[in-house]
Amino acid sequence: MFLTPAPDTGQLTVAPRDFPTNRGGLCQKGWTSAELLTSPERLTTPLIRDGKDAPLREAGWDEALAHVTRRFAELRATRGPDSVAVFGSGGLTNEKAYALGKFARVALGTSQIDYNGRFCMSSAAAAGNRAFGLDRGLPFPATDLDDSEAVVLVGANPAETMPPLMGHFDPARLIVVDPRRTATAQTALDAGGLHLAPTPGTDLALALGLLHVALVEGHLDTPGRVAYRRDRTTGWEAVRKCAARWWPERTERLTGVAAADLRRAAAVLAGARRAHILTGRGAEQHSKGVDTVAAWIDLALALGLPGTPGSGYGCLTGQGNGQGGREHGQKSDQLPGYRHIEDRAGREHLARVWGVREEEIPGAGRSAWELLDALGTQDGPAALLVMGSNPAVSAPRSRRVIERLRGLDFLVVADFVRSETTELADVVLPVAMWAEESGTMTNLEGRVLRRRAAKAPPPGVRTDLEVLHGLAVRLGRSGEEFPPDPAPVFAELRRASAGGVADYAGVEPRLLDDDAPVYWPARSATGAGTRPGGPAAALGTPRLFLDRFAHADGRARFLPVEYREAAELPDAEHPLYATTGRQLEHYQSGAQTRRVPALRAAAPQAYVEVHPDTARRAGLADGEEARVVSRRGTVLARTRYVASMRPDTVFLPFHFPGTGAANVLTNPALDPVSRMPEFKVSAVRLERADANAPKEGE
């Protein structure tokens, strides 16, 4: 999109760009995004707290950076390098994500780094790596969806979370899997598509049930599908045995989805010449998220979709740089190029690029929730640097996280507005926003995009790269190791990623100035800066897996999975399922969107969607304030009658702080592989609000 001054007022406005992914469309958040650039609530000077009970006061940059590095150095000297931790973001540019991971491991020497993307795409990433040997949100351009005759959306609501993407779908050909009748599900139903509404936490069983139907009704017996499984996959027989036990009536009893709807959905999907299965957070944010995504991948492989032109499996990413943010080393078990941190060859390669000894690079640290839960404990980090995240609202069991943040010896937050997390900080560093810095992003298709600065930051504001440069130099590293300019950082990122799964070596900056796309992996540069096939030809790999998958033998892996229940189920005391998600007007923790007047006016407060009968049994009228109570805490939210809701389920958006913070309720039970918390299933009860309603921080 473009940022331009309005001719009459000079106020900065946003204009969409005609781009293949969004086709000139923006959602409400995009149209209003420029308002925050000139908001009076922008942070423009560093803030320091002189004592735990003292208020934040304004300070100069030299004082703030010197204070941070002095405290970090003291803690490292007395308690070791892992006493200082780093928490990053899927919203950082590729350059910042790379620099942050390098800063943690080289300047601080800590293994304790993770990021909020662990709460978004980590289950799909783990399942995709296991099945295909590579994780890229969409292993094909989004425009391939235009001609799809059947698209299964599992736990994804793009009509509200990614509205421009809806232009790539024919609503009549959508099969939406979601416990709620979301805006996406309603769009499908209105056009003659399907909505399957399983009991929360049973998506895995639904996938197995659909695979069973496809198997026993002969949908998998076509010569092309038989040849695909024989020639391009391994492990089918074990998965076939798993699916054989999930006949439609058994699946119906567990999921609540009628056997007739299962058969219809399987027939539509199997009968399409071009079909796609796309998973989202609703499939991933479970203590069995990897297995759930794997079950849907198994269905896609059985039908021969991945790597077949016009068909495929993909994951819809969530944050602004959700794809690039997970490739460059800010995840606790990962190094740049999507290398695993325990891979010796990868460590040696990075050591050469970074100019350090391989043994100096720390090993794997704690995952996001485990890191946050360990803060301030005897064996956990005593200090934390947060860059681009607001875990006081966005993390599961958020009141416990707030307690952990308060228990730190030292908390530093780099952000451009005050948030619930900055209010707990000892030092707040004001940084530039998206329109005030250059760099690159990688979208859900694996397409690398250039971001150009449209304006200078306000006086007194620095970029994140400038902050890392200043901290690193004061910690004894050279300025050349941590340049403040994104261009040399990207050049080093290309060298660091070379030979890895997410290889950016061939992504020359000059090629990003063209309108033609650049997709990773792009393993070699063109030298002359031109594109084979002409100026409009794509560089790199727009469509993965057409000839082989990324495993050494070139085959995809079927992954046999068994159904297991959610970590927490309703009982007599907490008889309802609670699930959380985004709404159209807000984004993530709402720290930005709640400061945009139009968005705040449209969605000013927390609410709970509930079936009218369920609400009435709790004595709640439409619009009345309710208490939503889980085993971890209580939330106050305005009751919203929704006749299409399952009677056993309530929904809360997670954008609001304080007594309306939905993540107070959520369960931090973790997936054993991805370490994803179980955001999507919590057991709760509804009550009328009264004088005993929880106070802030209860």
DSSP E strand boundaries for 586-666: 607-610, 625-629, 634-641, 649-653
Nearby residues of 216 by Cβ (< 8 Å), 6 or more positions away: 247
| Phi, psi (degrees; rounded to nearest 5) at 337 | 85, 10
Chosen domain end from 316, 346, 381: 316
For residue 675, pLDDT over 70 is answered with yes
**Percentage of the residues of the chain whose pLDDT score is greater than 70:** 94
Q: Two tokens at 256?
A: 């609540």
Whether 645 contacts 255, CB under 8 Å: no
How far is residue 175 from each of residues 272, 590, 661, measured CA to CA in Å?
12, 30, 31
- Same domain? For 126 and 242 the reply is yes
Q: Is beta strand 677-678 parallel, antiparallel or unpaired with respect to 383-387? A: unpaired
Task: Taking the CA atoms of 61, 64, 66 and 69 in sequence, report the sign of the dihedral they define.
Answer: negative
The pLDDT of 268-278, averaged and rounded, is 97
Chosen domain end from 316, 346, 375: 316
Partners of 466 in the β-ladder: none
pTM of the model: 0.94
Q: How confident is the model at residue 367 (pLDDT cuts 50, 70, 90)?
A: very high
- Same domain? For 263 and 168 the reply is yes
How many CA within 13 A on the CB side of residue 518?
A: 29
In this predicted model, which residue has the larger pLDDT, 301 or 121? 301
For position 600, what pLDDT does the model report?
78
**Element (DSSP H or E) covering residue 101:** helix 94-102
Nearby residues of 270 by Cβ (< 8 Å), 6 or more positions away: 214, 219, 220, 303
Convert the pLDDT of each residue in 174-184 to its tens digit: 999 999 999 99
- Same domain? For 366 and 265 the reply is no
Determine, yes or no, domain membership for 602: yes
Convert the pLDDT of each residue in 226-244 to its tens digit: 999 999 999 999 999 999 9
For position 527, what pLDDT does the model report?
36
Q: How confident is the model at residue 697 (pLDDT cuts 50, 70, 90)?
A: very low
- Same domain? For 593 and 652 the reply is yes
For position 33, what pLDDT does the model report?
75
- Same domain? For 146 and 72 the reply is no
For position 694, what pLDDT does the model report?
46
The pLDDT of 56-66, averaged and rounded, is 97
Nearest alpha-carbon partner for 402 in 119, 664, 105: 664
| Separation between Cα atoms, residue 444 and residue 322, nearest integer Å | 7
- Same domain? For 384 and 279 the reply is no
In this predicted model, which residue has the larger pLDDT, 298 or 530? 298
Determine, yes or no, domain membership for 216: yes
- Same domain? For 386 and 370 the reply is yes
Determine, yes or no, domain membership for 569: no
Whether 283 contacts 114, CB under 8 Å: no
- Same domain? For 587 and 680 the reply is yes
Q: Count the domains in the chain.
A: 4
Q: How confident is the model at residue 7 (pLDDT cuts 50, 70, 90)?
A: low
Determine, yes or no, domain membership for 695: no
The pLDDT of 579-595, averaged and rounded, is 80
How far is residue 657 from each of residues 22, 133, 317, 405, 639, measured CA to CA in Å?
31, 39, 24, 15, 17
Whether 322 contacts 242, CB under 8 Å: no
CATH classification at residue 82: 3.40.50.740
CATH classification at residue 283: 3.40.228.10
Convert the pLDDT of each residue in 22-55 to its tens digit: 777 777 777 677 777 888 889 999 999 998 889 9
Query: Long-range contacts of range 261-264, CB-CB < 8 Å, 24 or more positions apart?
Result: 261/194, 261/196, 262/196, 262/206, 262/209, 262/210, 262/213, 263/213, 263/217, 264/194
Q: How confident is the model at residue 5 (pLDDT cuts 50, 70, 90)?
A: low
- Same domain? For 260 and 139 the reply is yes
Q: How confident is the model at residue 510 (pLDDT cuts 50, 70, 90)?
A: confident
Convert the pLDDT of each residue in 389-425 to its tens digit: 999 999 999 999 999 999 999 999 999 999 999 999 9
- Sequence length of the chain is 698
Q: Two tokens at 559?
A: 């992954």
| Separation between Cα atoms, residue 125 and residue 136, nearest integer Å | 8
Nearest alpha-carbon partner for 21 in 145, 186, 135: 145
Q: Whole-number mean pLDDT of the chain?
A: 92
**Percentage of the residues of the chain whose pLDDT score is greater than 90:** 81
Determine, yes or no, domain membership for 93: yes
The pLDDT of 282-290, averaged and rounded, is 95
CATH classification at residue 644: 2.40.40.20
Whether 195 contacts 176, CB under 8 Å: yes
Determine, yes or no, domain membership for 24: yes
- Same domain? For 179 and 283 the reply is yes
Determine, yes or no, domain membership for 641: yes
Q: How confident is the model at residue 2 (pLDDT cuts 50, 70, 90)?
A: low
Q: How far is CA 529 from the centre of its chain?
A: 33
- Same domain? For 301 and 383 the reply is no
The pLDDT of 617-629, averaged and rounded, is 96
**Element (DSSP H or E) covering residue 281:** helix 281-284
The pLDDT of 502-509, averaged and rounded, is 93
- Same domain? For 60 and 180 the reply is no
Nearest alpha-carbon partner for 387 in 439, 324, 431: 431
For position 87, what pLDDT does the model report?
98
Convert the pLDDT of each residue in 427-479 to its tens digit: 999 999 988 999 999 999 999 999 999 899 999 999 999 999 999 999 999 99
In this predicted model, which residue has the larger pLDDT, 560 or 322? 560
For residue 316, pLDDT over 60 is answered with yes
Determine, yes or no, domain membership for 515: no
Q: How confident is the model at residue 531 (pLDDT cuts 50, 70, 90)?
A: very low
The parent domain of residue 25 ranges over 2-31
Chosen domain end from 264, 293, 316: 316
